[in-house]
Every structure is written in C-alpha cells, then in structure tokens.
Amino acid sequence: MSATETFDAAKVRPLWHRIVVRPETVTLLLLIIAIFVSASLSPFFADLRFVLESATFYIEFGIVALMLTLVVVSGEIDLSVAAMMALSACLFGIAHRAGLGMPLAIIIGLGSGALMGALNGVLVTIFRLPSIIATIGTMTLYRGIAQVIAGDRSVGGFPSWFVGIDFIAVGIVPVPVIIFTILAILLGIVLGGTLFGRQIYQTGTNPVAARHAGIRVGRLKRILFIASGLTSAVAGLLMASRLGVVRYDLATGGELQAVLIVMLGGTYIFGGRGTIAGTFLALWLLIIIQTGMTVANIAIDAQLTVLGLLLILAIISANSIYASGRR
C-alpha cells in the first residue's frame, strides 16, 4: 500500500517541490551563506566595487563554463577550453605583432577558436572518439602549438584601447561582467526556451532515442563544440586585454576551473540535466568564496580544501535530487 503511495508521490511531484528542490537551489543557498561568511571573515570584503573588480579574474572561465554547460548537458565534455583560450589569444597576439591590424587580428583569434572547436567536433562525431579522450588530446595539441608559435616569451604591445577591458565599467560593473551576464541570458534562453535547447537535453538523456526522434545528433554536437571554441576564444581575448600580454601558458589549468563551475552549478556530468542559471550562480559562488578567503588572508591550502568540499557537496546534492526526481 505504502509502495503505491510512494510511487504516486514520485510521479506527480507538487509544483512547489519541483521549483524548490533543484540543484540550483543548493547553489543559491551556498551562495547566500558564502556572502555572509565572507563578510564576517574580513571587514574589507563587503565592498561591491571590490567584489566586481575581483570577479574579472574568474569571469573568463565563467564565460567558458556557460558554453561548457551546454556541451555537458548534450552528454559530452570539452577539456580543451583553456588551451583554446591560449592558442587563439597567441594567434591574435602574433597577428597583431605581424602588423595585420587589430580588427583582422581579432577575427583571426575568434576564427581560430571556431576552427579548433570544429576539430574537436569532428573527432567526437565523425571519428567517434569519446570526447574526454579527444579533448584531452587536443588540449595538449593546442597548448603545444601555442608554445611553438609564441615561444617562451610574452607577446604584447597592444594598442591602449584594447588593454584593460576590466578597468572599463558601466557604473561600477566591469565590461567583462556585463558580457558574461548577457551571454548567460542568451544561452539560458537557448537551453531553456528553444527547440534547439530541448534537443540538447534529449541528446544528453538518450542519444539513440534522440536520433530516432529525428534529431541530427552529430550536427548538434558539432555546433556545440564550435560554439565552445568560439566562446573560449572570446575568453582568451578578454584575458589578453586584462593582462596586456599573451603567453602560451595563459589560463593553465583553466579547464578544471570551468568544469568545477559547471559541476558546482548542479549540471549532471553524464548529460541530460543542468541549467545555465546553475552555472551562473556557481560562478558567483566561486568568486565570493575565493575573494572572501583571499581578502581575509586565509592560506591557499585551506582555500582549496573548502573548494573541494563544496564541490563534493554540490555533486552529492545534485545526484540525490536527480535520483529523487526520476520516475
């Protein structure tokens, strides 16, 4: 008798339950707690201008993580994002140094990102390599090419209008934060409100069924990988502007930062579930925690421990919520 009741309860969860019991809610709660803990840790934290300024150090990975969310929801992963940031930024820097002019250099930077993403897409959909393997391979390849072409030196000398985009602000909001927010809204609409978005979820949930339902799964994934390359290139250019120089080792380890943000946001690593809202909140959670602990002079080993615990907590809660919601 009770078994039947449980079955019924699971089948029709009340509306409030579906709205409140979501991985994003956990992220939001953690974010609120983090804000208050950070403010109590140090009197220097509670300064919106400072928090937004510090946000610019993480926003590039946040931009990458937004697009990565779509890739992960589709059932794939892209670990070459940071290497694509570095190589596209290096190609941009070298094109500028060669005297091609800034507009052309920016086009080369963005175009190379799209091309690198296309190669990832081809390896995954046409050569049928698991994306984790394929993009670990291209991660090393792209980083290696960047080192070959840029050498061990920095490439700089960009015009002053290009350098320091993080210093330019609308009110007190730096431009990279605005770019991140606009991209989050756009991708949120794409994933949550369009046919293409529904196809991404279906592909991630069950690619075979999606194919039978007439979704061109290969094409969809290629589009996502190309878009991932393109957003990585945008993030690479933002980083080049922030630092004023590019190097082959730009954004080293950034792929793990991006994956961490996506996971913190409650996106399911095996695909089919996750939202842009979660990733958006997760980036702010990361910013608040890191900034709060850094300004309180908390040692880095303690910081990493806290981040690791949070990540595990976020994944456990996401998994249990998805399990309870499964019919």
What gap in Å lies between CA 135 and CA 77, rounded to an integer?
8
Q: How far is the CB of 290 from other proteins (least distance, A)?
A: 7
Q: Measured between alpha carbons, how far is 271 from 72 in angstroms, rounded to an integer?
A: 5
Query: Is the Cα torsion angle 55, 57, 62, 63 positive or negative in sign?
Result: positive
What does the alpha-carbon distance between residue 282 and residue 284 come to, in Å, rounded to a whole number?
5
Contact between 252 and other proteins by CB under 8 A: the answer reads yes
Question: How far is 201 from 6, CA to CA, in rounded Å?
Answer: 27
Q: State the Cα–Cα distance between residues 108 and 38, nearest whole angstrom.
A: 41
Continuous segment of H or E residues that includes residue 170: strand 169-170
Least spacing, CB of residue 193 vs other proteins, in Å:
19
Interacting span for other proteins (CB under 8 A) from 47-55, 182-190, 198-206, 227-235: 47-55
The span from the CA of 206 to the CA of 219, in Å, is: 16
Is residue 50 involved in binding other proteins (CB under 8 A)?
Answer: yes
CA distance 213 to 231: 29
Q: By three-state DSSP, how is residue 213 classified?
A: coil
CB of 46 or CB of 107, closer to other proteins: 46
Q: How far is the CB of 276 from other proteins (least distance, A)?
A: 14
Give the integer Cα–Cα distance in Å for 71 and 274.
Answer: 11
245 contacts other proteins (rule: CB under 8 A): yes
Closer residue to other proteins in complex, CB, 19/304? 304
Q: Contacts with other proteins in 90-129 (CB under 8 A)?
A: none
* Binding flag, residue 156, other proteins (CB under 8 A): yes
Instruction: Identify which range of 17-25, 114-122, 239-247, 255-263 contacts other proteins by CB under 8 A.
Output: 239-247
Give whichever of 102 and 245 is closer to other proteins, judged by the CB atom.
245
Q: Does the footprint of other proteins cover residue 168 (CB under 8 A)?
A: no
Q: Is 162 in the site for other proteins (CB under 8 A)?
A: no
Nearest-approach distance from CB 297 to other proteins, in angstroms: 6
The only residue of 3, 99, 301, 323 in contact with other proteins, by rule CB under 8 A: 301
Phi, psi of 174 (to 5 degrees): -65, 150
Contacts of residue 214, defined as CB under 8 A and 6 or more positions apart, other chains included, come to none
Contact positions vs other proteins (CB under 8 A)? 31-32, 35-36, 38-40, 42-48, 50-51, 53-54, 57, 154, 156, 163-164, 167, 242-245, 247, 249-253, 281, 284, 290-291, 294-295, 297, 299-301, 304
